[in-house]
A and B are shown apart, each in its own frame.
Chain A
């Protein structure tokens, strides 16, 4: 059974960074890209970017290029997203989602709530 288990909720001070994890199981981690999606409170979904765990290659949406850094550890089948220079606009739930070759997302993590507060 494919599962994406994300880390727990985070609280970050303005200007600080947080790092969220997404541990994959039930499939070969390096066979699929991992996407990250942001959902602001009561809002829709924004694609942040993807990482290919096999090669470490990444692609980001323009607005997240200076905000997010995607990495992956193939030894632990875990993908990470680091969010830097936090502002109130970063308060949101962040999902990891496995990417199929066609580009759609077939499995999602449970989401991590990040709250930016002083």
Chain B
């Protein structure tokens, strides 16, 4: 199975700041990576697919990028509603695998 190593496990940031969350794939996943946001008691919501494509309705302050097997989610101009846990998912090869998650707290 492809391993997805996500970092950091948690971070704290202030309103208006920019944060970056990363996922390292154990092998080449050819940009087949998605990012999800999950708030407590809710289901995950798709933010980014194919590494850098923004899902319809998602604010443009969310962006995705890649460098080799390293994938990044950047959130600009943090808003209070961005407090959540973020997961990456590789959808290149079965079984789909997810990162362990990053809990983002707003100061």
Contact = CB atoms under 8 A, between A and B. Distances in A.
Interface residues on B, range: 20 to 34
Interface string B78-107: 000000000101011011111111000000
A104 B47 CA distance: 11
Interface in A41-59: 44-47, 59
A104 B49 contact: yes
Interface in A35-89: 35, 44-47, 59, 61-62
A95 B34 CA distance: 17
A108 B44 contact: yes
Contacts of B91: 102-104
A59 B43 contact: no
Interface in B12-51: 32, 34, 36, 42-46, 49-50
Interface of B: 32, 34, 36, 42-46, 49-50, 55, 87, 89, 91-92, 94-101
Interface of A: 35, 44-47, 59, 61-62, 95, 97, 100, 102-111
